[in-house]
Amino acid sequence: MNSFDLETLAIREGYEQTPEQENSEAIFPTSSFRYQSAAQAAARFSGEETGNIYSRFTNPTVRAFENRLAAMEGGESCVATASGMSAILATFMSLLEAGDHIVSSQSIFGTTKVLLTKYLTRFGIGITFVSQTDLTEWQGAVKPNTKAFFLETPSNPLTEIADLEALSQLAKQHDSLLIVDNCFCTPILQRPLEQGADIVIHSATKFIDGQGRAVGGAVVGSADLVGEEIYGFMRTAGPTMSTFNAWIFLKGLETLSVRMKAHCENAMQLSQWLVEHPAVDEVFYPGLESHPQYELGLKQMSAGGGLVSFKIRGGQDEAWQVIDNTKMLSITANLGDVKTSITHPATTTHSRIEPEIKLATGISDNLIRISVGLESIEDIKKDLAAGLNKIV
């Protein structure tokens, strides 16, 4: 199947027809599978015969999703998980041990930061946080026991871009793995494995679902690292993706390409409009030529993505006023939905960060983040204009 283009893989890969000859992928809600004989059961358990045993390890619907996403990311293996966070946990638990060290971008998802600093450190794993964009900081943070580099790009909410090729070279020089959370771009906009990353992680909850219905995650990479190591952890520890959710994500992949293109188009138009608005101070969007890493973005992403952030003239009161004056937009921290969402990072997603760090990393009180959905762009602008026009 790998000779097909991405759009075709998203629709055709991973489909295994049953004797019913269904055209849409079947869903297999079963916890276990049965055998024709005691001998067959024994052969399955010993690994002599491949096949399903129990849905904590394998399930045909989950496997269809895994095979499709693996093909789209260009990886040999994929393991689906119960959430994006359990995909990250499974990756670290499988590939690291006590005494190891991780270098991570400081601009990562807040809960991932808590996982690293509060929980992984308890098991003797060291972490150093560095600037997303400063290569010398990454270089300087490497220790003899460094085993992994971790980042997501573009970052949330300020859309800083990490240089995947440069960081993958640095990781290789130090025998470390480059692990990339590709949740914001999806394989439609960016394929980190092709740019030297070893592991790609997803929160399928976001753009892969695309309609805000289910929580899930996935890890993609080589047959050794993902197919053996991470799969081994997943089947033992059990953060398995539910069959029903796998079916939703599988169908989500089929429309991912057209949705991502539409998200990017709306986000581009919204950021251009925001740049011109007198109540807006600064707009963060990789598709704008004014973005400090516009060239790097062009090189490693096929479009700017669906997230737009901006700073308004004023502080928290004005930011909340813009949010509270919307009538259509969803006030929620989720992203990647067809419904546009608006959020105030400083008091929600980033509220637990120390005030000095918030300031240093640009999460100011006048910052607003939009996950641009697929409603009419004119209606989205109108809804935002209600509050923005009160500021000027």
Q: Which residues bind ligand PLP (CB under 6 A)?
A: 83-85, 109, 112, 152, 181, 183, 203, 205-206, 215, 217
How far is CA 316 from each of CA 174, 280, 313, 347, rounded to the nearest angstrom?
43, 14, 10, 9
Tell me the HSE value of 169 on the side-chain side, using a 13 A CA sphere.
Answer: 5
- How many other CB atoms sit within 10 Å of the CB of residue 152? 25
Identify which of residues 78 and 85 has a Cβ nearer to ligand PLP in the complex: 85
- Residue 102's φ and ψ, nearest 5 degrees, are -115, 135
- Nearest-angstrom CA–CA distance, 47 and 40: 11
Residue 135, classified by CB atoms within 10 Å of its CB into exposed (0-12), middle (13-18) or buried (19+), is middle
Report the run of H or E that residue 217 belongs to, with start and end: strand 217-221
Identify which of residues 109 and 310 has a Cβ nearer to ligand PLP in the complex: 109
How far is CA 235 from each of CA 14, 25, 80, 208, 391, rounded to the nearest angstrom?
20, 24, 11, 23, 54
- Cα-Cα-Cα-Cα dihedral sign, residues 370, 188, 192, 66: positive
Q: Residue number with the shortest CB distance to ligand PLP?
A: 84
Identify which of residues 84 and 304 has a Cβ nearer to ligand PLP in the complex: 84
- CB 149, CB 197: distance < 8 Å: no
- Nearest-angstrom CA–CA distance, 295 and 392: 33
State the residue for tokens 């895994």: 66
Taking the complex as a whole, how short is the minimal distance between the CB of residue 85 and ligand PLP, in angstroms? 4
State the residue for tokens 């935002």: 384
- Nearest-angstrom CA–CA distance, 270 and 287: 11
Taking the complex as a whole, how short is the minimal distance between the CB of residue 43 and ligand PLP, in angstroms? 36
Taking the complex as a whole, how short is the minimal distance between the CB of residue 150 and ligand PLP, in angstroms? 11
Identify which of residues 79 and 85 has a Cβ nearer to ligand PLP in the complex: 85
Taking the complex as a whole, how short is the minimal distance between the CB of residue 333 and ligand PLP, in angstroms? 9
Identify which of residues 142 and 267 has a Cβ nearer to ligand PLP in the complex: 267
Identify which of residues 183 and 280 has a Cβ nearer to ligand PLP in the complex: 183
Taking the complex as a whole, how short is the minimal distance between the CB of residue 184 and ligand PLP, in angstroms? 6
Taking the complex as a whole, how short is the minimal distance between the CB of residue 382 and ligand PLP, in angstroms? 27
Identify which of residues 40 and 195 has a Cβ nearer to ligand PLP in the complex: 195
Identify which of residues 277 and 369 has a Cβ nearer to ligand PLP in the complex: 369
Taking the complex as a whole, how short is the minimal distance between the CB of residue 323 and ligand PLP, in angstroms? 20
- How many other CB atoms sit within 10 Å of the CB of residue 276? 8
Identify which of residues 110 and 314 has a Cβ nearer to ligand PLP in the complex: 110
- Nearest-angstrom CA–CA distance, 38 and 46: 12
Taking the complex as a whole, how short is the minimal distance between the CB of residue 206 and ligand PLP, in angstroms? 6
Sequence-distant (6+) residues with CB within 8 A of 23 are none
- Nearest-angstrom CA–CA distance, 58 and 50: 11
Q: In one letter, which amino acid is 50?
A: T
- Cα-Cα-Cα-Cα dihedral sign, residues 161, 165, 166, 169: positive
Sequence-distant (6+) residues with CB within 8 A of 347 are 316
Taking the complex as a whole, how short is the minimal distance between the CB of residue 109 and ligand PLP, in angstroms? 4
Identify which of residues 152 and 198 has a Cβ nearer to ligand PLP in the complex: 152
